[in-house]
Structure 1
């Protein structure tokens, strides 16, 4: 990303999160000035200009003043919230988007908005079915419903000509500095702490899901920023439904624990889990319009996760 590509200065909302930190790094590597915005500072955003702001609780006018003062031409909303109730989930995931859209309406010049959505907005699909952008979303989880509501706000604003932007629905992410709210991130910590003599019991969902390296996801965001005249919605994933048990076995191998020390059992996907038993993304639109393709294989992603999971920077507020 260079000035020749049109993006000179980007504001990353949720910059300290597990995805936001990689988006900041990806833009910076491409020569774009980064303004990192989050509730609290973290060590990994110190190379950038950092502004403390709670995007879920500020007003659109307050955010507009910040964006105008910083003279950004692109905003990436990488905020993410998990909660137990529908109201709390809505406040965490929909509230920030309402504030961002309100802010953009107050700015004197057009600013491109890139909203990070989730593949879980589509809800369960039949096994063997790749999910493309034409699939009618029917999310089954609180998380999926709140993310869909947020994405629809952006897509409706784009359709009405009130916003210049796009939604990127990311599949499950892997890689360095994982979220501790994910199954594999939590498992990596448990493996770090496991005593080989006592062993470890692990319950794995009997599921096949699409995973993409978080660094590849960040590259897709940069590509969408550089190509403004594209579709308003992209699915981002490897396009492979991988057996979750295979990923667990690979992570155990990387950990160096004896295979017999980890006792794995499979269980059905149930309840309010945001995942499903089958997820496979059709990312052909992103390949065609953004010239984007994943570059990391999943073993590299798991190794990056393993090498950083003991770092105190892993758990960061967005």
Structure 2
């Protein structure tokens, strides 16, 4: 059944893939500040509505939603690069918390509201994080803003009779990155001709999910499963597997045939860095019938073949060489 779907942050890394999944079967409106530019092609533009709106601007958000009247809102818009959040916590809170509140206040009663939270809300642990049993205690500003936003989601879902879903997303990889995370940085340095790459910490282990799997996960949560009005479902979105940066480098050596060496760069090392981050994904599999399909080797091969990095990201990475 065709539905009206608003995707906030729909021009971003996961958002662009999600919009392409939805645009032929639904009426899709993308709300985005276009911080990274308009990266949709002509076929995308012909089949969606695109509104340049900053989610911090309540009046613009409210006017757009009142005009479009979405039946589903998928909220992906955020500042999610952890060093950026640490450098400017006020901006991170304005976008990630106030922006979320603006969307919730404007969301039509009875609509389904799907919020992209993060595995960063969990307390660091060496076991897979479970939505109902793992301790929630963020270790950085980004995680704090996402946890605060989750609380507003639950509140407004109850107050406005929305059908809520909180999706705690883990580390996304694949073509189309917009922020200088470690994998696009590695690929950019290698593509620039250097086999001795400058990196910060290489020991942290993360649950890496391919961008297509992430987009399909949000699609499943938005379109399927029963969510009664006034209630909020909570699920993790990851793969249930974790890899260190060193392990990824081993995979890239096999994939590229390059003699990749690492030079430790203190300026790239995060002062706040958890050792492990892995999702338990049983709940999303049961509640929404979703499971990841892309293995890590295929995800890295896809990224290597066609990085498709945002122009602004390329400029940032060029400046760090």
TM-score interval for Structure 1 and Structure 2 normalised by the shorter chain: 0.7 to 0.9
- The 5 Å alignment of 1:142-157 reads 142-157=141-156
For 1:41-78, what per-residue CA distance to the aligned partner results, in whole angstroms no more than 9, with x for missing partners?
A: 5132524221111112x11x432321232232111111
Distance 1:302 1:215, change over 3 A: same
> Structure 2 residue aligned with 1:217, among 214, 217, 222?
214
> Structure 2 residue aligned with 1:101, among 88, 100, 104?
104
Q: How many Å apart are 1:168 and its aligned residue?
A: 0.3
Q: Secondary structure at the match of 2:235?
A: strand
- The 5 Å alignment of 1:66-85 reads 66-81=64-79, 82-83=84-85, 84-85=87-88
* Structure 1 residue 187 corresponds to structure 2 residue 183: no
Match of 1:308 in 2: 306
- The 5 Å alignment of 1:1-318 reads 3=1, 8-28=3-23, 31-40=25-34, 42-44=38-40, 45-47=44-46, 48-56=48-56, 58-59=57-58, 61-81=59-79, 82-83=84-85, 84-104=87-107, 107=108, 109-125=109-125, 127=126, 129-134=127-132, 135-160=134-159, 162-195=161-194, 199-230=196-227, 232-256=233-257, 258-259=258-259, 261-263=260-262, 271-273=271-273, 276-309=274-307, 315=313
Aligned residues of 2:11 and 2:32 also touching (Cα < 8 A): yes
Distance 1:303 1:251 in 2: 8
Distance 2:235 2:145 in 1: 18
Gaps of 5+ in 2: 315-321
Q: How many Å apart are 1:37 and its aligned residue?
A: 1.5
Q: Secondary structure at the match of 2:293?
A: coil
Aligned pairs, number: 297
Q: Secondary structure at the match of 1:94?
A: helix
Q: How many Å apart are 1:263 and its aligned residue?
A: 2.9
Stretch of structure 1 that moved more, 142-151 or 62-71? 62-71
Distance 2:60 2:221 in 1: 26
For 1:104-152, what per-residue CA distance to the aligned partner results, in whole angstroms no more than 9, with x for missing partners?
A: 2xx4x52211110100011311x2x111111231001011111111112
Distance 2:309 2:117 in 1: 27
Q: Secondary structure at the match of 2:11?
A: coil
Q: Secondary structure at the match of 1:150?
A: helix
Gaps of 5+ in 1: none
Stretch of structure 1 that moved more, 16-25 or 158-167? 158-167
Distance 1:272 1:285 in 2: 29
Provide TM-score, normalisation by structure 2.
Answer: 0.84
Q: How many Å apart are 1:159 and its aligned residue?
A: 4.2
Give the root-mean-square deviation of aligned CA atoms.
2.5
For 1:149-206, what per-residue CA distance to the aligned partner results, in whole angstroms no more than 9, with x for missing partners?
A: 111210232345543221100011111212332111111111111245xx33444431
Aligned residues of 2:177 and 2:310 also touching (Cα < 8 A): no
Distance 1:50 1:304, change over 3 A: same
Q: Which has the higher contact order (CA 8 A, sep 6+)?
A: 1
Distance 1:307 1:138 in 2: 37
Q: Secondary structure at the match of 1:232?
A: strand
